[in-house]
Structure 1
Amino acid sequence: MTRQILLGAVAVLGLTAASASAETFTWITFKPQGAGDAQARTTQWLVDEFEARTDGEHQIELFWGGSVAATGEIPEALANGVGDFGDIITPYFPDAMPLNNAVGFFIPQPMGTLEVGEAMERWHEEYPQFSEELESQNLHAMGFRPLETYGMLCREPVEGIGDLEGKRIRSYGFAYPALIEAMGATPVSITTADTYEALERSVVDCTPIGPALARGWKYDEIAKYYIDMPLGASFGHLLAMNLDTYQGMDEETRAVVDQLGADYLQEYARVLEEDRARVLELWQGEMGVEVIDFPEEDLTALVDDPQVQAVRDEWIAKAEEAGLPVDEIVSELQF
């Protein structure tokens, strides 16, 4: 049975979920169908795999480009049963999901894309507090989509920490504002979608980002210097489900979903690395983007800055309150 969904955010948020035994589930996403990046391509891969692994008995219908719920509405839409599956930009909801935003409080950190995803998988398996935080909002994490390892894309060359003083740098979340101020720069809060224009108009001089994402948003048309600053991979998206949908699935279908979540991380990391390599090759050629090594010691020295430490301490306090073994988790997030 296919769900009938009325497109349009206001009307959609009033709908109730159909039976969890439906043969066709729904996936709501902010990603445009034609994006062509690793996130969009592997989302389609997951949907195709779900149908194949259930021998065509079950399907997932994709609703692209925020047609059902905008980025900021997806957690509530999933919780209310408007969609069965969806991708949540976790850093946009730090107050609702502080534990699941652990990596976002520890920038810079030493892990890459796959390592961050595997850490999230392990934390969810070993520490029930991570899942309980989502379950309290009628959500279930069936998979994880970290972002790539970040550096800094700038309009002018940056050779070391001194070159960042006075720069205006795009910022978001908790760790980046403190880190940017520790650099002697000014954090400027701007959405991903607005950053191209901000770079073009010199509203910002730099933005933290990775090569694949920079190419996807075409920032590299404006900013021609990629500073290979070891910021580590940011945690990006939960592949989330309506908890009632997940619990209402038969045991065999739940097993397919669980395995798909683990397999998705591996496939996504593989595709993302291919994209990253392709972009770096483009930069060396026709795009003309210069990659500049940044002294690692210049960055890691900033971790001791009181403002940076205050952000980390904020997460530690929340984790201790939740009863988590803080030292074990934090040890993975420190150089």
Structure 2
Amino acid sequence: MTKFFTRTGAFARVGAFAAVGALALAGCAESGSGGAGGGGEGVEYGATKADYQAAFADVDPIVLHTQSPGTKGSVGGSFVEAYVAAVEDWSGGKITFDLAYSDAIAKATEIDDAVKDGRLDIGQVLTVYEPKEFPAASALLDASVLSDQSVVTGVLQSNAWPAEVAFSTPEIVSEFEDKGLKLMMPAYNAGTNALFCSQPRAGLADLAGKSVSVGSTAGTEQVTALGATPTSVAYTEAYEALQRGVINCSMLSPSAAAIGGIVEVAPHTVIDPEAGLAVPTGNMVINEDVWAGLPLVAQQLLWDRLDVFIAGSIEGKIWPVTVDSVQKIKQYGGEVTPFAPDAREALQNANDKIVDAIADKPALSDGEGFVTNARESSDKWSRIVEELGYTNETDYNGFAEWYAPGKIDIDPYVKRVYEEILLDKRPA
């Protein structure tokens, strides 16, 4: 048996944990290894809950501290709570999580440091806030403009192909490893990005010279291509800036807009499935030393229940948040529209240039290969989503009335994602 002890000194617990916007999972461990890590008996892929619980019979208790971005029971943190509950249940209570809520330990720019120095065990690194620290991962963020941004198929496609590309890009994996972080679920997102504007602005004439707050390099290039002026406004200040007319639009996710009250002052929303805005992604990581010290069966369970994490992120968070956002957009007099043809064409041209420019990124040893891989993977997952029978039965405006929990069976999709992307990385 492997014995786990409470961590002390620099690795002592210093509070609760945090993430940002719509994405988070993290923790600080009470479990330092007192024996050989990664050992013991494991189980085969496809093992039942009973198989797992039997395999944990002789494993000493393991406590991992983790966190949710929202309050207890909130939609925003539901996927974190679902993952935690599944791991605890399937381990027969041998793995437990001390789950903190509401951004309590490490802010968005500190999560990688917190996991590295031992304040957290499991965390979500948001590389969009640290492009210099994660230049290869930032290249993948630029490539996110390839994502389908429709309400059903887009959510599925965009939560699959970036993870596939991340795991197949050595530079991305090594950026995390060099910081003592093991990638578990790379490059998942909280849904699409949108333009939230105080007045309807879907065409180039509407956007010309208007001020738009953005949070990424790719977003800056996109806004410029639309003839608008990109600016940086803190998320906490966006509401007042829109209200006072300091900015005219803000580029962010529907969940972030709903949480921050942005929809109240900027209900006129642009989401175009054929011309995607850059989509920030999260990267779920675990402290490498903590990972190495876990028994094999614990590693396998944490890995296998990523299926719950994926499902919870989509049907527990993204789609319910979309429903809530659309309802609020309509409540405050707005609607969701695509870009006008001229703006769509301008954005599509800008997106092609953004993706082509990735080939010259110094962080990538084979930039052209990366671009080819990204284009092929995004196309591949569009085909897979279609082959699995998923369609867009409605647009964003009708989604709130059309959707109900359980209406979309995403189990075939989640299984395909696990087997195509995660299975060959499964601990053995």
Q: Give the conservation status (yes or no) of the 8 Å contact 2:359–2:368.
A: no
Higher-strand-fraction structure: 1
Following superposition, the deviation at residue 187 of structure 1 comes to 0.8
2:164 matched to which residue of 1? Answer: 122
Map of 2:32 onto structure 1: 19
1:234-245 aligned within 5 A = 234-245=279-290
Amino acid of the structure 2 residue aligned with 1:212: S
Aligned length: 326
After superposition, the C-alpha distances for 1:277-304 in whole angstroms (9 at most, x for unaligned) are 34324433x3432223323562343454
Query: Over residues 256-314 of structure 1, what are the superposed CA-to-partner deviations in whole Å (9 max), with x where a residue is unaligned?
Result: 11122243123211221232134324433x34322233235623434545x98368525
Please give the alpha-carbon distance, in whole angstroms, between the structure 1 residues aligned to 2:366 and 2:98. Answer: 36
Identity %: 20
Does structure 1 conserve the Cα–Cα contact (< 8 Å) formed by 2:263 and 2:328? Answer: no
C-alpha contact 1:107 1:176 (8 A) present in aligned 2:
no
- With 68-77 and 126-135 compared, the bigger mean Cα shift is at 126-135
Deviation at 1:247, TM superposition (A): 1.8
**What is the correspondence of 1:1-335 to structure 2 with a 5 Å cutoff?**
5-7=13-15, 18-20=31-33, 23-28=62-67, 31-33=69-71, 36-38=74-76, 40-106=77-143, 108-111=145-148, 112-144=154-186, 145-229=188-272, 230-232=275-277, 234-271=279-316, 272-284=318-330, 286-295=331-340, 298-305=343-350, 309=353, 313-314=357-358, 316-318=360-362, 320-321=364-365, 325-332=369-376
Note if contact 1:33-1:65 (Cα within 8 Å) is conserved in structure 2.
yes
Distance, in Å, in 2 between the alignment partners of 1:227 and 1:19 is 48
Greater mean deviation of Cα atoms: 94-103 or 242-251: 94-103
User: Alpha-carbon deviations, 1:139-194, whole Å to 9, x = none?
Assistant: 11222431311221100111312210010000122111122112111111122222
User: Do the aligned partners of 2:124 and 2:283 also contact (CA within 8 Å) in 1?
Assistant: yes
Q: Distance in 1 between matches of 2:66 and 2:166?
A: 22
Aligned equivalents of 1:266, 1:318: Cα separation in 2: 35
Provide the C-alpha distance between the structure 1 equivalents of 2:128 and 2:204, rounded to a whole number of angstroms: 26
- Give 1:161's aligned amino acid: L
Structure 1 Cα separation of the partners of residues 288 and 120 of structure 2: 11
4+ residue runs of structure 1 moved beyond 6 angstroms?
none
Cα distance in 2 between the residues matched to 1:311 and 1:124: 15
Contact in 2 for aligned 1:99/1:133 (Cα 8 Å): yes
Determine helix, strand or coil for the equivalent of 1:159. coil
> In the alignment, residue 185 of structure 2 is paired with which amino acid?
G
Summarize the Cα distance change of 1:116–1:5 in structure 2 as closer, same or farther, 3 Å threshold: same
Distance 1:327 1:162 in 2: 32
Preserved CA contact (<8 Å) 1:129 1:324: no
Cα distance, 1:232 vs structure 2:
4.7
The 1:298/1:318 distance shift into structure 2, 3 A limit, reads same
Q: Find the residue that maps to 2:373 and give its secondary structure.
A: helix
Assess if the C-alpha contact under 8 Å between 2:359 and 2:371 holds in 1: no
- Partner of 1:106, secondary structure, is helix
Q: TM-score, normalised by structure 1?
A: 0.85
- Give the direction of change, closer, same or farther, for the CA distance of 1:176–1:16 in structure 2 (3 Å limit): same
CA contact (8 A) 2:30 2:63 kept: no
Of 239-248 and 111-120, more deviation after overlay is shown by: 111-120
Q: Is the 8 A contact 1:152 1:206 kept in 2?
A: yes
Q: Deviations over 1:213-234 (max 9, x none)?
A: 3212211111121123342561
3-state DSSP of counterpart to 2:269: strand
The amino acid of 2:120's aligned partner reads: G
TM-score normalized with structure 2 length: 0.68
Task: Write the letter of the residue equivalent to 2:74.
Answer: G
Query: Structure 1 stretch 66-75 or stretch 246-255: which is displaced more?
Result: 66-75
